[in-house]
Structure 1
Amino acid sequence: MNVSTRTVYAEIKRMNSWLETHQLSGVQRKGQRGYYLNPHEKEIIIQKADTILVGHDYEPCVKERRAILLLTIACSEHCLRIDDFMKMTKVSRNTLLEDMKQLKETLSKQEITLRYQAASGYVISGDERAIRLALKPYIHFIRTMIKNEKTFPSFWLKGPISSKRVHHLLQQSEQELKLEFADEMLDQLSLDLFFYFKRMKLGHAVHISNEEKRTLQETEECLAAIRFMAHIQKEASLIVHDDEIYFLSTLWLSAKKQKLPSIKKPEEHLIRTIARQMIFDFQRYACISFQEPKALEQNLTMHLIPAYYRLIYHIGMINELTDSIKKAQPEVFEITQKVACHLEKAACSKLSDHEIAYLAMHFGSWMRREGISSIARRSVYIVCGEGIGTSNMLKTQLLELIGYIEVRGLLSKRAYEELAAVDADFVVSTTPISFKGKPVHLVHPILTAYEKKTLLQYGKGSEAKIDENHVNALFNIIQQHTIVQNKQALLHDIRELLHPTYVSYQKGWNPVLNDLLTEQTIKLHQTADTWQEAITKAAQPLLDQNAIKPSYVEAMIQSVHQNGPYIVIAPQVAIPHARPEDGVNKLSMTLMSFKQPISFSKDGKKQVRLVIVLAAIDSMSHLKALKQLTMLLSEEKRTKQLMEAEDLASVQKLIDQFSQV
């Protein structure tokens, strides 16, 4: 509780006094049992609890008490010492010293100093803009106290202008701006400005850079702020500098709104694009599809515009529901955290959990509106016998393919076999393993199209279910033509055939890696401006050999447009491919290195210098070469050798090492 023993005893004494006035037994203490209440009176005390928390009986909690301390120091013209705060808060000296210590540590992170001076008592110093923004969360606690009719020092109600008058002037500004602040935001803004005006009365002024001023001058908020501050200057007898007008503009731009002006702002196109990207990614990660994405886009854009300005101007906010959202909807919160990267990139700043929780509320409420059930996060173990490099490559492909999936762990075959049970929804393995009650998918390190389709179903939790009618129909057909020795065993085998719990693949002859990557299909140190050009160039040797048709190149590019940069299977490595029916004449492969990295994603994160085009004629014949390629690329050192190689011979030597028949 961060309070002294003396404070605890004082609180118990106060509680007993209150209980006695209501003709109830006091707090009792008995040996090792500690403190307790009369069990027969607990219900009565709970019913009377509301009267405890209001009026002069109320004692602020720790965060409220610290808010009282900090705002008193920040807005008082008097010399304040610990003795003054003891009278004000009725807690011990040690408790107050601990409060001051915690406040100092919190403020120091924002480059603000709280210190004690013998002549002037406790003082707060630093950049005025930083101080005001640091006070915002503490003012929020005070607003909560006022809303709940809790008491606090009466002298706070005195200021250059009342918060009620500020509230009224803000409503007038709403009409000028043709917008509507959210109700709670209007109350919060009124109280924020009430305390800021007290700071201004003491001679503290903010400073805004010339660059920010030029940007803010073009906004409607700045013009409205000029008129608003003219009223304040007249009614409160305050000296209002131009920088205060610009500072107020940033507060208005970043305030949550219930209604936006009909005239579109210049930044709305950018924010709408961000909203669209976030919705697209949310659907992909959550494996859901919104029925009205345009309406959601409009709703989300209205919230993102002020959030964008809060990030730009480093204006924090408190969301009282953050913890409950994290607890009640952890999946929605986590996915929102991932898709928020688009807004963070645009504003060059990181979103707080409070901001993410508000965004999660938007997505969560829209899901409920459309009747979308809560997201069921699937879990998987990855088992690999080729080492950590190959395991990570497979993990990257799974996350790109499925998005919102929990990879419980990367296991060796030995580690998997030692498990008593599998605590995941399914297992993906590159090597044959035993069945432990959960579906096992035996795949290749670089996933084939069929493997991706099957795994995508499992990742979404929409894998095909056994149709017992089909099972029985097939059983009856078999029974008509033969004598069934063991009915239950046959039914089990039919079910396993229709819906196998252990998915494996046939084996057959396949060409090895150096059969496909030859002197004619390896090109080094090429150049390309775009990923489309890189794929086209890398495919050219196959076009020259008539191994593929031009339609196959178009299909590879279209696949990336539709599905994103899933072909980037490892850092700096992309393996573009399409379906055999898209224009493959014969099984073939090319390898092309580039002098400079080429971006394969809009955010610039998927940088590639090695492009390997694969043209398969079926789902099987290329798999041996593909596995050998995976082994070659599983170590970063070898990948770098391929990218940096100056001559064809050194590349062929590396390929030969992994081309065992």
Structure 2
Amino acid sequence: MILDKRRAHLLSVLLQSSKPIHAKQLTENLGISKRTIYYDLDQINDWLASQSFDAIQNIHGQGFWLPESLKQQINLQEYNLTDEYVYQFSESERILLLIVRLLTEDTMLTMNSFIASIQMSRGTIVKDLKKVKEQLKAYELLLDYSRSKGYRVVGQEEDKRKLLSNAFSTIMLDSEWKTIREKIYTMLGPKEFLKNGYVPDKEKIIQFINQAENGLFLMLTDEMIEMLAIELLIIIKRVGSGQFVTIDQEEKNVLKETEHHKAANLIMKRLSEHFHVMIPPDEICFLTMNLLGLKVHRDDFSYYSKREKSGLRKVAQRMIADFQTYACVIFDDRGGLENNLIAHIKPTYYRLKYNVKTSGNLVSSIKENYSEIYHFTKRVVVHLEYYVGKSIPDEETAYIALHFGGWLKKENKQVDLKYKALIVCENGIGTSNMLKTQLEGLIAGLDVVAIQSMREFNLNRVNADVIFSTNYIKENEIPVIHVPAILSNTDKEQILQTVNDLFQSDYQEYDEAEHIIRVIENYATIHDRQNLIDAISKMNIEQRHQIKELKKPMLKELLTESTIQLEDHVSNWEEAIKVAAKPLVTQLSITQEYVQAMIDNVKELGPYVVIAPNIALPHARPEAGVQRLGMSLLRLKESVNFSDEEKHRAQLIIVLAAIDNQTHLKALSQLTEMLSDEENVQRLIDSANTDEVLDLINNY
């Protein structure tokens, strides 16, 4: 029996862990279902038995565990791995496979052909086909059936391609669907060409894509290369059977002006020569649409058109400005974030324009672990919506949130850089940078010297002490730690523990314990010196493994009876800021210098603090005089003017004293959620006493 790569990845996670791992944690880390985890563990145990090893232990209440004796015996690098394995498809996987077969086969398909390819009973296939019909309807397609000939899909070629594209986006870009990718390749080409997971046609197509990349002066992500290769296999198959798309002439004229059309033309020329098939101009434009929407690992702005440069830069600048205003943060390297964001929203713009779907496999994880950043991103993407003329889906918003999150750095402490790290990530720019920020913020002394795609890693090895990879990789000389793209607290604890095991020797803990003992001996009598040293050493190790989670207070913890004031009026906006800030000065949360800094900001930058009708949010940089995190609220019966314009009047003045770019985000996101409802704003303005204000705040 040969162990496949996915299960080798799962086994490597267990090998690295110093304690049992629960099934739920494995599903979150690996992005696959609980059902698949248990199925894979059974297969791994069969493989272990074939190698005369003991099975993985399932410890009740704790999770799956490999004993130390077994870990020492297993070295995955010594075994040949394969992508092939026997797998029973779930319902959602079967439905996607049926859709792909129906839309890529030249002839009508019989029930027996479905049974043979999916390995399920007739009754199961019949139920699945009913659900396939429902999905087809959403794309204005029909499932036609003839008793003598079988099944086929009827409808416009553009609608068929759109459904295929979205189906493949799900399959190719979501890690949970990796199990059926090779099955797809067998559907797109003769089975005799598929040997040991190697698809000659696909590999040739990837060569053509790489040539086009060089012409575009960008680098696509690994997942985008895979996605594009399979889309091209589909185009060749559809064109070869006489199925063509038709693109509007005006749209074709626009597409032909882009650099991506030249790249599409090059790819299609190579495909035409390789497959001996004539490819119409509309198909080249169709490919151009897809190329424009692909995520990139690296981009070169010098090859953007003037329209793209000016339009997208304005969108990025407005989004960043609003994010800073709404989240009350300052991006020190604003130019870097701007370029980073442009490189992402360019393909986002074209995906939305041409209805090209992207994967949503990280959305729930981003919303859960970075809910505040997602909240503020949701508010600022209106600028991109206006530019595109379409609403932004959650999955696109989530990936934009990664870019903001990756540039929200904590107040940096001066630490000696101890370890050089390499990140190998198959995702895009935002995901990679977010992972870099998470790891450098987590591990003191970690210096991420490079971020590489899988292709770059295989071509050019970077000197590093440790590699963090989102995918399984083989590396004999440098330790590899497999990580998800978005780290939960559980992930962080495991990573800390693994890094500590790699680089922190027991002797260091022992020396520290000895030092503590010598201090204790000056003031107390020690009865059992050795056991006390061992206990202190153990305690030090455990503390190194624990996450010191950044505490983010809730709104109700900051806006309390002592920080809320209800007044009738003040003389002007300067007095409004001074009065609103008074509770924070009294509590020693801020200094008088901070109050003056807020006033100076308005004088210098204008009435930017008025973030919505009747609401002002004055603040300044933490170094201007913040002693600790704080927030205060002043309600005025008579509005105060921050400028001569009507829109710059405010009755609610909320002073924020932030200590960094992150700690205040939870409370601020709750505040903005509350104030986004006009009824809530009016309730605050009409409040007769502090208790009424607190009742409303306690709902958030």
TM range (shorter): 0.5 to 0.7
1:255: which partner in 2?
294
Q: Helix, strand or coil: the match of 2:143?
A: strand
1:172: which partner in 2?
211
Spell out the pairing of 1:400-415 with structure 2 (5 A cutoff).
none
Q: How far did residue 454 of structure 1 move? A: 7.0
1:55 to 78, 84, 101: 84
2:258 to 210, 219, 223: 219
Is contact 2:98-2:114 (8 Å) kept?
Answer: yes
Is contact 1:254-1:309 (8 Å) kept?
Answer: yes
When residues 88 and 270 of structure 1 are mapped into structure 2, their CA distance, relative to the original with a 3 A threshold, is same
Is contact 1:67-1:142 (8 Å) kept?
Answer: no
When residues 18 and 457 of structure 1 are mapped into structure 2, their CA distance, relative to the original with a 3 A threshold, is farther
Which amino acid in the other structure matches residue 304 of structure 2? K
Which amino acid in the other structure matches residue 213 of structure 1? K
Q: How far did residue 297 of structure 1 move? A: 0.5
1:298: which partner in 2?
339
Whole-Å Cα distance in 1 between the matches of residues 189 and 571 of structure 2?
70
Count residues with an aligned counterpart: 428
1:340: which partner in 2?
381
1:87: which partner in 2?
116
1:317: which partner in 2?
358
- 2:396 counterpart of 1:362: no
Which amino acid in the other structure matches residue 285 of structure 2? Y
Q: How far did residue 136 of structure 1 move? A: 2.4
Spell out the pairing of 1:467-506 with structure 2 (5 A cutoff).
467=588
If asked which structure has higher relative contact order (CA below 8 Å, sep 6+), I would say 2
- 2:140 counterpart of 1:108: no
- 2:566 counterpart of 1:442: yes
Q: How far did residue 613 of structure 1 move? A: 10
The C-alpha deviation readout for 1:587-613, integer Å capped at 9, x for no partner, is xxxxxxxxxxxxx9xxxxxxxxxx699
Q: How far did residue 162 of structure 1 move? A: 1.1
Is contact 2:293-2:356 (8 Å) kept?
Answer: yes
Whole-Å Cα distance in 2 between the matches of residues 174 and 437 of structure 1?
60
Q: How far did residue 241 of structure 1 move? A: 1.0
1:136: which partner in 2?
165
Is contact 1:137-1:318 (8 Å) kept?
Answer: no
Structure 2, gaps ≥5 residues long: 1-34, 194-199, 414-436, 439-553, 592-601, 616-637, 652-677, 684-700
Q: Helix, strand or coil: the match of 1:262?
A: helix
- 2:316 counterpart of 1:275: yes
Which amino acid in the other structure matches residue 212 of structure 1? E
1:233: which partner in 2?
272
2:587 to 461, 466, 470: 466
Bigger Rg, which one: 1
The C-alpha deviation readout for 1:574-596, integer Å capped at 9, x for no partner, is x99646xx99xxxxxxxxxxxxx
The TM-score, its normalising length taken from structure 2, stands at: 0.51
2:187: which partner in 1?
156
State the superposition RMSD in angstroms. Answer: 5.1
Q: Helix, strand or coil: the match of 2:302?
A: coil
Q: How far did residue 83 of structure 1 move? A: 3.2
Is contact 1:425-1:438 (8 Å) kept?
Answer: no
Is contact 1:333-1:356 (8 Å) kept?
Answer: yes
Is contact 1:166-1:190 (8 Å) kept?
Answer: yes
When residues 615 and 229 of structure 1 are mapped into structure 2, their CA distance, relative to the original with a 3 A threshold, is closer
Whole-Å Cα distance in 2 between the matches of residues 248 and 24 of structure 1?
50
Is contact 1:443-1:451 (8 Å) kept?
Answer: no
Is contact 1:206-1:247 (8 Å) kept?
Answer: yes
Whole-Å Cα distance in 2 between the matches of residues 16 and 92 of structure 1?
27
Structure 1, gaps ≥5 residues long: 1-6, 27-35, 375-421, 428-435, 471-554, 570-574, 584-599, 601-610, 617-629, 636-661
Which amino acid in the other structure matches residue 367 of structure 1? L
Q: How far did residue 60 of structure 1 move? A: 2.8
When residues 240 and 58 of structure 1 are mapped into structure 2, their CA distance, relative to the original with a 3 A threshold, is same
Is contact 2:104-2:188 (8 Å) kept?
Answer: no
Which amino acid in the other structure matches residue 352 of structure 1? P
Identity of aligned residues (%): 24
Q: How far did residue 71 of structure 1 move? A: 1.0
Q: How far did residue 138 of structure 1 move? A: 2.7
Q: How far did residue 277 of structure 1 move? A: 0.6
When residues 56 and 336 of structure 1 are mapped into structure 2, their CA distance, relative to the original with a 3 A threshold, is same
Spell out the pairing of 1:557-576 with structure 2 (5 A cutoff).
559-560=606-607, 562-563=608-609, 566=612
1:67 to 48, 72, 96: 96
Q: Helix, strand or coil: the match of 1:111?
A: coil
2:348: which partner in 1?
307
Whole-Å Cα distance in 1 between the matches of residues 588 and 614 of structure 2?
38
